Amino acid sequence: MNTPDAAQLARLANQFRMEGNVLDIAPFGSGHINDTYRVNTDAADSYLLQRINHHVFRDVPALMNNMELVTHHLKQKYRQLNEKDPDSRVLTLIGHESGKSFHEDAEGCFWRMFVLLPHTRSYDIVETPQQAREGGRAFGQFQRLLSDLDATRIHEVLPHFHHIGKRLERLDEAVAKNAFDRVRSVTAELAFVAARKDRMQTIQHMAAEGLLPLRITHNDTKFNNVLLDGNDRFQCVIDLDTVMPGYVACDFGDAIRSIINRAAEDEADVERIKLNIPLFEAYAEGYFEQAHHFLTSHETDSLFAGVLLLPYMQTVRFLTDFVEGDHYYKIHHAQHNLQRTRAQLRLVEELEKHEPELRVILQRIAAKYQKN
């Protein structure tokens, strides 16, 4: 996809029903999937103009239908809760002059626009228990407010995204092809994955037995997908492209994966990968505060399975990409995906080592809120 110049961006922006006239447009944020630009106008609001990566999200109309349904439902719920300013708590889409919520340009690229929420900030790394707790409150409330919206109305825009069975099948296929002659260098990693294959399908098995309801879940619960206000209180959950039907344990596990590791996701020195258990406890506290209203007992029981599954699944995904020749994830050197694989593998080991302690924390917090 070509990078449009300022004049082209201004023409695109002016096709959306925003207030005021464009003063300037500049790249915004650090996202790796979509291209985002901040649009400043001579009116009170600023906006975000975004080009959707249709190579990743191949059914943009379905994606945008999901976003319209979810944002509309969330705003209705906040109004019912007598929220003073619902528009500050939920992303607001700006309609295109065509009447749609998005625009397809002459080159087949898709664009949309949001109101930029002022005086908010996000963090790539969780620094304090308060921030972790607010992350838990944010995603717990997000799930709670959507718990009465029929999940079958939401399209699965990334099929089998958190289906570990499908991820393992893909790895097996890559190993069988061995197109880049890399399998012999990852025998230890493949053995690690194989040894845990059955246990990591707990959520799938519970779902197949009808124990876990299909919910509307976020599916990308990194901490930087929560906007905080000036007091580090959560204000809004963002990056709704991956909102799909799913199971709450996957959202919980992915959030824990992103906050509990004291080292980077691709840390080369695996000895530095240690657990920050106070952040785990703080996130769980915030999550249960909001989510205990709707969680079933089986969903509560499934949460730790999600804590183990998501870093294991990321291990499988990085390992698959390495064996396939590094075509999915951006890499900075030839061994980068293998380095990522080993870091996530070590995180799984650390979680297993501390499993009794972490389970006790979850059980204690769950019991506390079940009494209320």
- Stretch (H or E) spanning 183: none
Q: What is the pLDDT of residue 331?
A: 87
* Cα–Cα distance measured from residue 136 to residue 289, given in angstroms and rounded to the nearest whole number: 8
Query: Is residue 174 located within the same domain as residue 309?
Result: yes
3-state secondary structure string, 108-142? CCEEEEEECCCCCECCCCCCCHHHHHHHHHHHHHH
152 burial via Cβ count (<10 Å: 0-12, 13-18, 19+): exposed
With respect to residue 123, please indicate whether it lies within any of the assigned structural domains: no
Q: What is the pLDDT of residue 323?
A: 98
Query: Is residue 221 located within the same domain as residue 364?
Result: yes
184 burial via Cβ count (<10 Å: 0-12, 13-18, 19+): exposed
Whichever domain contains 318, its CATH number is 3.90.1200.10
Query: Is residue 92 located within the same domain as residue 233?
Result: no
Query: Is residue 107 located within the same domain as residue 141?
Result: no
Nearest C-alpha neighbor of 207 from the set 63, 97, 309:
309
Dihedral pair phi/psi, residue 40, rounded to 5°:
-95, 140
User: Which pair of tokens denotes residue 246?
Assistant: 């799913």
User: Which pair of tokens denotes residue 170?
Assistant: 């893909």
From 59, 89, 115, the end of a domain falls on 115
* Cα–Cα distance measured from residue 77 to residue 71, given in angstroms and rounded to the nearest whole number: 10
* Cα–Cα distance measured from residue 349 to residue 341, given in angstroms and rounded to the nearest whole number: 12
From 62, 87, 115, the end of a domain falls on 115
With respect to residue 53, please indicate whether it lies within any of the assigned structural domains: yes
Provide the strand spans (E) within the chain. 22-27, 35-41, 46-52, 103-104, 110-115, 215-217, 226-228, 234-237, 244-246
Whichever domain contains 17, its CATH number is 3.30.200.20
Query: Is residue 225 located within the same domain as residue 78?
Result: no
Cα 300-302-305 angle, rounded to 5 deg = 135
With respect to residue 312, please indicate whether it lies within any of the assigned structural domains: yes
Query: Is residue 202 located within the same domain as residue 298?
Result: yes
Query: Is residue 224 located within the same domain as residue 295?
Result: yes
User: Which pair of tokens denotes residue 176?
Assistant: 């069988």
Query: Is residue 278 located within the same domain as residue 341?
Result: yes
Residue with tokens 């061994």: 335
With respect to residue 25, please indicate whether it lies within any of the assigned structural domains: yes
Contact 343, 264 (CB under 8 A): yes
With respect to residue 121, please indicate whether it lies within any of the assigned structural domains: no
**Could you tell me the pTM of the whole model?**
0.93
* Cα–Cα distance measured from residue 168 to residue 272, given in angstroms and rounded to the nearest whole number: 28
**Structural domain count of the chain:** 2
Q: What is the pLDDT of residue 30?
A: 67
Query: Is residue 50 located within the same domain as residue 138?
Result: no
Nearest C-alpha neighbor of 17 from the set 114, 117, 108:
114
Q: What is the pLDDT of residue 200?
A: 98
Which is it for the CA torsion 223, 34, 340, 200, positive or negative? positive
* Cα–Cα distance measured from residue 33 to residue 55, given in angstroms and rounded to the nearest whole number: 9
Nearest C-alpha neighbor of 133 from the set 259, 307, 275:
259
Amino acid at 239: D
Query: Is residue 105 located within the same domain as residue 152?
Result: no
Query: Is residue 71 located within the same domain as residue 134?
Result: no
**Local confidence pLDDT in tens for the 372 residues of the chain:** 678 888 999 999 999 999 999 999 999 976 668 999 999 999 888 999 999 999 889 999 999 999 999 999 999 999 999 999 999 999 999 999 999 999 999 999 999 999 999 999 988 889 899 999 999 999 999 999 999 999 999 999 999 999 999 999 999 999 999 999 999 999 999 999 999 999 999 999 999 999 999 999 999 999 999 999 999 999 999 999 999 999 999 999 999 999 999 988 999 999 999 999 999 999 999 999 999 999 999 999 999 999 999 999 999 999 999 999 998 888 899 999 999 999 999 999 999 999 999 999 999 999 999 876
What is the span of the domain harbouring residue 198?
Answer: 129-370
